[in-house]
């Protein structure tokens, strides 16, 4: 969001090209094309992992809200009209000399005019609505493993598989512990860890140099973790447990273990997350 916003504000959509219709859902592709044609970007914001594009269209009195999600492999960025389109381009919005590109290797992401998936979302983790009291209440009574529960977007918005492991590691909580069994100090520690992990990730992600506008012949687009193509080592994100299976814990030297919960990989330290 922070990379895209300055590039998109004020730009007008001249044409909409859809290369992979599947990514437009559940809104019908034709409706999206009609709604976006001649619309102008006013702002970009975010809710959980969803990007919210606010536009004004001469065809409607009320603002248009375009909702985007990158899924696992999606990228959205601007490039020059003369640049070649990426291999898995799903949607292109022509903006005059530039174009907005949404490309997605696996096409799990989407663009939509339907806000239904936002309605069920829990509080923003960095907002006051995400209080320790709320968190404790939301975990109470749940018998599911805390790691699995953290992935529910209606608990708290925006925690994904990587940062769920990272937050539990920081809070020194075993991922398999039933969510409702956390003691008050653990709820507190996890609440803190979620906020820390995500705010560090946002700071990292928004500071990393990406070829995001149309200033060069290539674009990095969004990344999920690790680092952007060609960025200096300095910008490599240092995850503390995720993907460190078999390596030693940075705190206690115990070997990091990988387990599977709800068909998703979880990494943790058996030494300090006991």
Partner DNA sequence: CACCATGTTCCTTG
Partner DNA sequence: CCAAGGAACATGGT
Q: List residues binding DNA (CB under 7 A).
A: 22, 26, 48-49, 69, 71-73, 87-88, 105-108, 117, 142-144, 148, 151, 153, 160-162, 224-225, 262-265
Closer by beta carbon to DNA, 64 or else 157: 157
Kindly tell me the burial class for residue 180, based on how many C-beta atoms sit within 10 Å of its own C-beta (0-12, 13-18, 19 or more). Answer: middle
Q: Is 168 helix (H, G, I), strand (E, B) or coil?
A: helix
Least Å from the CB of residue 70 to DNA? 8
* 145 or 249: CB nearest DNA: 145
Min dist CB 111 to DNA, Å, is 12
Contact 197, 170 (CB under 8 A): yes
Measured from the CB of residue 22, what is the shortest distance to DNA in angstroms?
Answer: 5
Whole-angstrom distance, CA of residue 230 vs CA of residue 220: 9
Q: Rounded CA gap, 215 and 205, in Å?
A: 19
Yes or no: say if 210 and 218 are a contact pair by the CB < 8 Å rule: no
* Least distance in angstroms from the C-beta of 104 to DNA: 9
Is there a cis peptide before residue 79, judged by omega within 30 degrees of 0? no
Closer residue to DNA, CB minimum distance, 40 or 89: 89
Least distance to DNA from the beta carbon of 95, Å?
26
Closer Cβ to DNA, 100 or 267, answer by number: 267
Nearer to DNA, 73 or 254 (CB): 73
Question: Distance between CA 19 and CA 42 in Å, rounded?
Answer: 25
Q: How far is the CB of 26 from DNA (least distance, A)?
A: 6
Query: How is residue 210 written in tokens?
Result: 């990406």
Comparing CB distances to DNA, the nearer of 254 and 265 is 265
Distance of CA 132 to the CA centre of its chain: 23
Cβ–Cβ < 8 Å for 80, 41:
no
Q: How far is the CB of 161 from DNA (least distance, A)?
A: 3
Mention every residue, 6+ apart, whose C-beta is less than 8 A from residue 116.
none
Both tokens of residue 73? Answer: 């492999």
| Contact present, 194 and 160 (Cβ < 8 Å) | no
Residue number with CB closer to DNA (44 or 148): 148
């Amino acid at each position: 969001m922070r990379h895209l916003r300055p590039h998109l504000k004020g730009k007008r959509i001249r044409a909409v090209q859809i290369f992979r219709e599947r990514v437009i859902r559940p809104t019908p592709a034709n409706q999206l094309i009609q709604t976006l044609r001649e619309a102008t970007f006013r702002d970009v914001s975010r809710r959980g992992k969803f990007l919210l594009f606010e536009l004004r269209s001469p065809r409607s009195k009320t603002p248009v809200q375009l909702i985007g999600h990158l899924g696992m492999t999606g990228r959205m960025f601007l490039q020059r009209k003369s640049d070649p389109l990426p291999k898995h381009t799903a949607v292109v919005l022509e903006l005059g000399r530039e174009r907005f590109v949404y490309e997605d290797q696996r096409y799990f992401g989407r663009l939509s005019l339907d806000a239904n998936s936002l309605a069920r979302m829990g509080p923003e983790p960095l907002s006051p609505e995400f209080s320790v009291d709320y968190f404790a209440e939301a975990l109470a009574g749940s018998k599911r493993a805390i790691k699995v529960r953290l992935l529910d977007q209606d608990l708290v918005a925006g925690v994904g598989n990587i940062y769920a492991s990272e937050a539990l590691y920081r809070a020194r909580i075993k991922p398999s512990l039933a969510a409702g069994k956390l003691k008050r100090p653990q709820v507190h520690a996890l609440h803190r860890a979620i906020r820390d992990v995500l705010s560090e990730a946002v700071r990292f992600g928004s500071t990393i140099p990406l070829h995001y506008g149309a200033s060069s012949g290539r674009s990095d687009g969004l990344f999920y973790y690790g680092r952007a193509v060609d960025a200096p080592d300095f910008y490599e994100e240092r995850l503390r447990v995720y993907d460190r299976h078999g390596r030693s814990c940075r705190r206690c030297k115990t070997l990091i273990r990988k387990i599977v919960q709800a068909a998703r990989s979880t990494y943790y330290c058996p030494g300090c997350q006991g």
